[in-house]
Amino acid sequence: MIIAFTVAEAGRYVIRDSFISRNDGAAGGVVHLRVFVNHREIAPDLYCRTQEKTSFDRELGKLAARDRVFICIGPGESDYHDSFTIDFSFRRF
């Protein structure tokens, strides 16, 4: 899954109040999350192996109008038990 945003106006942006969690708990499996601004990866990859909420808050830096932000979520080492819940805020400050 890819969640994409196009920045409407220039400014400093962040992802805050974020979490991802696996729905399948102890069943095994991993969810892999990556964040990009245009083609540049922001911070290290995140691997979620638990039902506990795992934050992926990130400073995205100064972005220009029409820059694109991508939150990419996929399976980890296998493609089973990887359903997930996600929430976050994308903010300009």
Contact 19, 56 (CB under 8 A): yes
Residue 9: count of CB within 10 angstroms of its CB: 9
Q: Measured between alpha carbons, how far is 4 from 68 in angstroms, rounded to an integer? A: 7
Domain holding 8: CATH number? 2.60.120.40
Task: Name residues whose C-beta falls within 8 Å of residue 69's C-beta, 6 or more positions apart in sequence.
Answer: 4, 5, 7, 13, 35, 36, 37, 60, 63, 90
Query: Does residue 53 sit in helix, strand or coil?
Result: coil
For residue range 32-45, what is the model confidence (pLDDT) as tens digits? Answer: 999 999 999 999 99
pLDDT bin (cut points 50, 70, 90) of residue 15 is very high
Helices (H), ranges, 1-93: none
Is residue 83 over pLDDT 90? Answer: no
pTM (2 decimals)? 0.90
State the maximum Cα–Cα separation within the chain, in Å, rounded to a whole number: 43
> In which domain, by residue range, is 80 found?
2-92
Q: Measured between alpha carbons, how far is 59 from 33 in angstroms, rounded to an integer? A: 16
Number of structural domains found in the chain: 1
